[in-house]
Amino acid sequence: MSTMKGSSKNLKTAVEAYQWVKASYANAHRAKQEGRPVAWLMFGVPLEIIYTMGVSPLFPENYGTLCAAKRVGYKFCEAAEQDGYNKQLCSYARTVTGHTFHPEVLPDPPSGGLAKPDMLIAPTMICDLRQKWFEDVARRLDVPIFYIGLPDNDATWQTGLPDQYLLDLFVSETKDLIEFLEKTTQKKFNEADFLQRLAWANEAIDLRLEILEARKHVPAPMGSSDYFASIFPGMTMLGTKEAVDFYQRMLAEIKERAENNIGIVPEEKFRLMWSGIPIWFNLGLLNYPEPLGGVMCIEGNYQSLPRERSEDPYIDLAYRYFQKNGSIGVDSQVDLAKQFVQSYQIDGVILSYTQSCRPFYIFQAEVRNHLQDELGIPCLMLESDMADERAYSEGQVRTRMDAFLEVIMKQKGLK
C-alpha cells in the first residue's frame, strides 16, 4: 500500500474548510479583474489591518502547500532551480518562484494560480528567507514592498511580558504599515472597522483555544488530519466574521463528538503527537497509525495559545506577536512539546524534519532529546520535505513508521 495519498478527515467542518482555500485564490483573481488591490503576505501580518483596508490578501506560503498537496509543487521547484535558486532553499519559496516566473511549467495551476500582487508585505519574523524571498519578488515584478521590522521573538521568552521598547517598535511598525497601505491604496484607514475586525480575530482565536482544550478528550474527537485541513481560516482569515462562524461550528462538532465519545478510530489504543510542518504532498501519513488503533491527536506547532490581552488595540496585536509560547526559541519549543505530551496523554511523537526549512526545525533534535530523556517518550525523526516530494523516500518512511509504531505498541503492552 502506498503511503502517498491525501488525508482522510473525520470532521464535517474540516472537509468544509477547503472551500475557504479555493475562495481565497478566486477572490484575488476577482479583485484583479475589478481593479481592487491584491497583496501578497507572509504569515504574521496583522490581518485585521489588511481586511480593514479592503485589500485582497494572498499567502504564497499557503500556495506552496496547495501545490504540494496537488502533487505539482516539485515541478515549480525544478523551474526555480533552473534559474539558479539552490535546491536547499525553502520549497515553498522555490514553488512560488517557479510558478511566478515560469507559468509555462503548468498552464493550469492549482486554483488558477496566484494573482499578481500590487504590493508585498513581509514581517521580519520566523525566518530570514521570507524577507529575502519577497525582496526578490518585489525586485523582479517591480512592485512596492513593506517590511514590518520586528524584534526577535526569541528575546522575549526570557522576560515574559514584552518590555516597553519591544512594544514601541511593534506599534511604530504597525502604524507605518497602515500609512503604507493608505498611500498604496489611496484609501483612509477606518479605525472603527479595524476594532470590529480585531474583536472578530480575538473571538476566532478564543474559539481555537477552546478547540485545543476540547481535544484533550479521550478518545480524541479530532485528529491531526482534521486540524491541518482546518488551519487556513485561522491563519489567513483572522479579522473576518466567517472565521468566527467557522470555528464556532467546528467547536460545536468537536464537543458533540466528545460528549458521545466518538473518536477517530473505533477503539483508540495509543495517542501520538505530530511536531513540525506536515508533509503536504502526503497528508495521508497523518492517518497511517489508525489501522493499529493509533491516533495523531495533537500538533506541536501552528497553535493559538493563551496570552495576555490589552485594551489598547495595537498593544493587543503586539501581545499576540510576542506571546511567550509562540516564540521559536529552543527552550520555549521544548517546554511547549513537554506540556502537550503531558496534557494530551501522548505515547509517542513524530517529529517531521524537512530538509529545506531550517529555523522551524533547528530545535527539533533538542525537543526529541528532552522528550526522550526526561519523559521517556519514544520519538521518531521523519526526514522528508514539506513541499518538494523529490525528497520523499516511500520505502524509508514506511519502514521507519512501522518500526516506531511497533515500539509504542510494545511499550503500551499491545503486542
Partner 1 sequence: MKSLEKARNMIESRHQRLSEWKEKGGGKVVGEFCKYVPEEMISASGALPVFISGEMDRFQGVDRFLQENTCPYMRSCFSAGIAGDYDYLDALVVTHGCDIMSKMHDFWGKRTKVPEIFLLDFPHKVNEASLVFFREVIERFKQFLESVTGVEITEASLSESIRAYNAFRRTLKAVYDLRRQNPRPVNGTETLTVLLASMLLPIGEADAFLGEFLAEAGSRTDLPPQGVPIMVTGTDVSNLDLFQFLEDSGALIVSDDLCTGSRYFWHPVDENEAPLDALARRYLTNIPCSRTVPSEERYEHIIRVAKVYQAQGVIMPIVDFCDNHMFDAPYVLNRISNSGLPVLPIEVDFTRGGLEQVRPNVETFIEIIAQGE
Query: What residue ranges bind partner 1 (CB under 8 A)?
Result: 83-86, 88-90, 93, 124, 127-129, 131-133, 135-136, 139, 147, 149-152, 154-155, 158, 165-166, 168-169, 172-173, 176, 329-331, 353, 355-359, 361-366, 369
Q: Which is nearer to partner 1, 172 or 190 (CB)?
A: 172
Instruction: Give least dist CB 63 to partner 1, A.
Output: 18
Instruction: Give least dist CB 277 to partner 1, A.
Output: 13
Q: Which is nearer to partner 1, 204 or 382 (CB)?
A: 382
Instruction: Give least dist CB 359 to partner 1, A.
Output: 4
Helix or strand run (H / E) with residue 119? strand 119-123
Amino acid letter, 182: E
Q: Which is nearer to partner 1, 172 or 393 (CB)?
A: 172
Q: Which is nearer to partner 1, 131 or 225 (CB)?
A: 131
Burial class (CB in 10 A: 0-12, 13-18, 19+), 147: buried
Q: Which is nearer to partner 1, 165 or 260 (CB)?
A: 165
CB 377 within 8 A of CB 271: no
Q: Which is nearer to partner 1, 90 or 201 (CB)?
A: 90
Instruction: Give least dist CB 323 to partner 1, A.
Output: 17
Instruction: Give least dist CB 95 to partner 1, A.
Output: 14
Question: Of 161, 171, 236, whose CA–CA distance to 204 is shortest?
Answer: 236
Instruction: Give least dist CB 248 to partner 1, A.
Output: 37
As a whole number of angstroms, the distance between CA 233 and CA 230 comes to 7
Instruction: Give least dist CB 128 to partner 1, A.
Output: 5
Instruction: Give least dist CB 354 to partner 1, A.
Output: 8
Residue 49 has a CB neighbour count (10 Å cut-off) of 21
Q: How many CA atoms lie within 13 A of 245 on its CB side?
A: 6
Q: What are the residues whose beta carbons fall under 8 Å from the beta carbon of 84, sequence distance 6 or more?
A: none
Q: Which is nearer to partner 1, 130 or 257 (CB)?
A: 130
Q: Which is nearer to partner 1, 30 or 102 (CB)?
A: 102
Instruction: Give least dist CB 141 to partner 1, A.
Output: 13
CB 56 within 8 A of CB 27: yes
Which residue spans within 279-361 are E strands per DSSP? 294-299, 348-354
As a whole number of angstroms, the distance between CA 378 and CA 213 comes to 24
Please state, in angstroms and as integers, the Cα–Cα distance from residue 76 to each residue in 145, 341, 387, following that order: 23, 37, 11
Q: Which is nearer to partner 1, 200 or 274 (CB)?
A: 274
Cis peptide before 219 (omega within 30 of 0): yes
**Which grid coordinates are listed for 305?**
495559545
Question: Of 135, 151, 131, 152, whose CA–CA distance to 143 is shortest?
Answer: 135
CB 242 within 8 A of CB 318: no
Strand partners, 207: none
- Look at the chain and count its residues: 415
